[in-house]
Structure 1
Amino acid sequence: MKLGGGPLPVPEEFAPPPVPEKKAPPKKLTPGKPFLPPYVPPKPIASVPDKALDPDIHKKVRRGRIEIDGKIDLHGMTQAEAREALYRYIVTRVSYGARTILVITGKGIKTDNDYISAMSERGILRTMLPIWLSEPSMAPLVSGWSMAARGHGGEGAWYVRLRRI
């Protein structure tokens, strides 16, 4: 006895999965064209609250009418070493009742070649000092800061005014 008509229908649950459509192969880079990733705009830099020294105090310190109670030189230190040394120094000076200190950071590397200066960390300690002074660990100890006068180091040094505690 011959049953008619071809294969029996297969229930849906036992049907083979659908064959995915073939995607086009990825484009190969040609030797003459560099690959450029899509442009992503830079994130805005968080602004550091400016705690500028009172202009009258800055003028008096610059002219020598207010004595500088201490000086710390951060030259040759890494960022981590400089931040730690600065924190310890500020805590010590505040405990002695000092009001004004001079922090020497240096001006950073200056070169004529923009490519080299863009690759190096130019004046990183000078750039980081206001950020460190604004951190929660140091902010309560500091009332303000400003760049030093030429006679005290100019762009490579900062006057830091300490709070009375």
Structure 2
Amino acid sequence: MSKRDPKRLPHDFHLWTAVASTVDPLRRKGLLKLGPLPLPVDEPAATVIKAPPARQTPRKPFLPPYQAPLPSASLPEKAVDPSIRRKLGRGRIEIDGTIDLHGMTQNEARGALHRYLHARVGRGDRTILVITGKGLKTDNDYIAAMSERGILRTMLPIWLSEPSLAPLVSGWSVAARGHGGEGAWYVRLRRL
């Protein structure tokens, strides 16, 4: 800050004088003069003997309405081996095929996924990249509350664990950032 010249008045001095003229000063003697307050009289407390609380059976903790578990959390044995996933993310293992489910309805996407995986298993491919898109996030992960755009990402692990695809798939996990991150999945197929 620069030092102000004491002879020079501030540029808003006229405003200050206008406001100061409308204010009444406080009377110091009348405001601060308070007499001693009477002390509260302690009444003898009635002695109440309380019975010990009856032992109650413990209640179950509050459970929110049923929420479907996350597919990847409910099927941890189906995750791709972490070392293989790292190699896929770094490009040391090649991706044999890619399917993009963007813009499809659930039925179309499920049918396309079934046809594609059956064809790739017949060719002997091992690693597939399935692109679902991130979709919209919701406050909770309840499947019925999710919007249509995020449902493919939620439903993919459920579809992969269906009886028609489960024997073909050895595991799946979310793709690395370079391959789409949370909007894509690595799917490892079994050898026939």
Please tell me the TM-score bracket, short chain as reference: 0.5 to 0.7
What's the counterpart of residue 87 of structure 1? 114
CA deviation map 1:1-36 (0-9, x unaligned): xxxxxxxxxxxxxxxxxxxxxxxxxxxxxxxxxxxx
What's the counterpart of residue 65 of structure 2? 42
1:100 aligns with 2:152: no
Q: What is the CA RMSD across the aligned residues, in angstroms? A: 2.1
What's the counterpart of residue 120 of structure 1? 147
Tell me the TM-score normalised to structure 1 length.
Answer: 0.67
1:49 deviates by 1.9
What's the counterpart of residue 177 of structure 2? 150
The percentage of counterpart residues that share the same residue type is: 76
Q: Secondary structure at the match of 1:86?
A: helix
Distance (whole Å) between structure 2 residues aligned to residue 45 and residue 133 of structure 1:
17
Q: 1:157 to 1:119 in 2, by over 3 A?
A: closer
In 1, are the aligned partners of 2:137 and 2:146 still within 8 Å (CA)?
Answer: no
Distance (whole Å) between structure 1 residues aligned to residue 89 and residue 80 of structure 2:
12
Tell me the TM-score normalised to structure 2 length.
Answer: 0.58
1:73 aligns with 2:83: no
Distance (whole Å) between structure 1 residues aligned to residue 186 and residue 106 of structure 2:
19
Q: Secondary structure at the match of 1:62?
A: helix
Q: Secondary structure at the match of 1:53?
A: coil
CA deviation map 1:32-91 (0-9, x unaligned): xxxxxxxxx633526642311001110111111111000000000000100010010000
What's the counterpart of residue 11 of structure 1? none
1:123 deviates by 1.0
1:97 deviates by 0.3
What's the counterpart of residue 87 of structure 2? 60
1:119 deviates by 6.9
Distance (whole Å) between structure 2 residues aligned to residue 105 and residue 119 of structure 1:
15
Distance (whole Å) between structure 1 residues aligned to residue 136 and residue 159 of structure 2:
21
In 2, are the aligned partners of 1:110 and 1:122 still within 8 Å (CA)?
Answer: no
1:110 deviates by 5.8
CA deviation map 1:87-130 (0-9, x unaligned): 1000000000000000000011369xxxxxx6733510000000
Residue segments in structure 2 that go unaligned for 5+ positions in a row: 1-63, 139-144
Distance (whole Å) between structure 2 residues aligned to residue 57 and residue 81 of structure 1:
30
In 1, are the aligned partners of 2:124 and 2:191 still within 8 Å (CA)?
Answer: yes
What's the counterpart of residue 166 of structure 2? 139
Q: 1:122 to 1:73 in 2, by over 3 A?
A: closer
Distance (whole Å) between structure 1 residues aligned to residue 111 and residue 67 of structure 2:
27
